[in-house]
Amino acid sequence: MKVSAEIEAAIAAAVKENFTSASVVGINTRRALGSDGEKVLWIYVVFDDARGKGWPDPKETLSLPIHIMDRLVALNFHDFPLVSFVSKKDFPKLKLEAA
């Protein structure tokens, strides 16, 4: 299930401002129900490890979900964000919609 353009823009802004260690080439989102029935928002941050910056900084990968959650709560959107970081090369293996 898709999210609104407003939610996608908030996620993109959080990624742009707080995730600078890798070259982001796309963000893929989808809503789902977790195994416990709670609403979750899967967020795949797709980065290009061939553009010279390399792999993401672990400090940024750990803090990014908090920055995203802050923006989502401000928009009164309460699905729990689950953030994954995947290289551009590996993203097609997930068989999701294009980023």
The CATH number given to whatever domain includes residue 32 is: 3.30.70
C-beta of residue 29 within 8 angstroms of C-beta of residue 12: no
Report how many domains make up the chain: 1
Range of the domain at 64: 5-89
Phi, psi of 22 (to 5 degrees): -130, 155
In a domain, 28, yes or no: yes
In a domain, 25, yes or no: yes
Mean residue pLDDT of the chain comes to 88
- Tokens describing residue 17: 């401002």
Query: What are the helix (H) ranges across the chain?
Result: 5-18, 58-74
In a domain, 94, yes or no: no
- For the entire predicted model, the pTM comes to 0.86
Q: Provide the pLDDT confidence category of residue 96 given band limits of 50, 70 and 90.
A: confident
Q: What is the pLDDT of residue 97?
A: 59
Q: What is the mean pLDDT of residues 47-60?
A: 76
In a domain, 98, yes or no: no
